[in-house]
Amino acid sequence: MGDSLDPRPVVVTDRLAGVGRVIGVTGSKGGIGKSVIAATLALALADRGNKVGLFDLDFTSPSDHVVLGVDRRFPTEEFGVEPHRVHGIELMSVAFFAGDAAVPLRGAETTSALLELLAITNWGDLDILLLDMPPGLGDTSLDVINLVPRLEFLLVGNGSRVVIESVHKALALLTELEVPMVGLLENMQWGDGSAVTTMAQEFAIPYLGSIPFDPGLEDALGSVHKLRKIAVYRGLVTLSELLAAE
């Protein structure tokens, strides 16, 4: 009975009414550079003049603020919570509320926290909102699929056999759930990339290209000036142009 009276799902729809596209950046496992891709893609989109938002939904280990070099300061409130505007990006993260503390949520607590953040955040008018999803397809990801209207997924993978196996399962589930997919992006490419392109063909989704392994990435984290000079950013400029044109 309580769930049926929860007004927050309706509020979430209202909060996202001014957003053109909502794209969840997801990967099947941790450690494949999903957050780096999400944050750097947001930067590339903003640099080309798009109104872009970035929402870090990894409650366990939020890191978009680390990639972009943003202090964890509490958001301001006016008709809702206002995302921090940084480098042309409207950025929201649980890190702004939790600081250095871990956020040990379980089950229904995760759903409630997600609903609350979606319902209180005032995104305004955006061309694209990127959701940096937690690793895998657990409770948070499934809740986002149910709660966020017009959601599309951009999948990040690489040529590792372990990752390929996991991404294949994720694609099978998303296909079964009939979630629209922007396509599959190969990160930290090595080899010829044939395993990733073959998988994209199997599921009839676009192959969005590859981002080479970049030894300069670690030094660039936390500095948008340095991020703009490395191969990761250059590769995502092309993708940002594709997303903005659709």
Residue 229 falls inside a structural domain: yes
Residue 139 lies in a domain: yes
Would the pTM count as exceeding 0.75? Answer: yes
Contact 237, 209 (CB under 8 A): no
Q: How far apart are CA 100 and CA 133, in angstroms?
A: 20
Q: What is the dihedral of CA 31, 96, 26, 44, to 10 degrees?
A: -100
Residue 246 resides in a domain: no
Q: For position 105, what pLDDT does the model report?
A: 66
Residue 163 has pLDDT above 70, yes or no: yes
Interatomic CA distance for residues 127 and 7, integer angstroms: 26
Q: What is the DSSP letter of 109?
A: H
- Give pLDDT tens digits for 25-70: 998 777 788 999 999 999 999 999 999 999 998 888 889 999 999 9
By residue range, what is the domain housing residue 170? Answer: 3-239
What CATH number is associated with residue 171? 3.40.50.300
The DSSP code sequence of 142-201 is HHHHHHSTTEEEEEEE-S-HHHHHHHHHHHHHHHHTT--EEEEEEEEE-TT-HHHHHHHH
Query: Do 54 and 92 meet the contact criterion of CB atoms below 8 Å apart?
Result: yes
Domain total in the chain: 1
Q: Which of 46-55, 107-116, 231-240 has the lowest mean pLDDT?
A: 107-116
**If you average pLDDT over every residue of the chain, what do you get?**
89
Res. 200 pLDDT band, cuts 50 70 90: very high
In a domain, 8, yes or no: yes
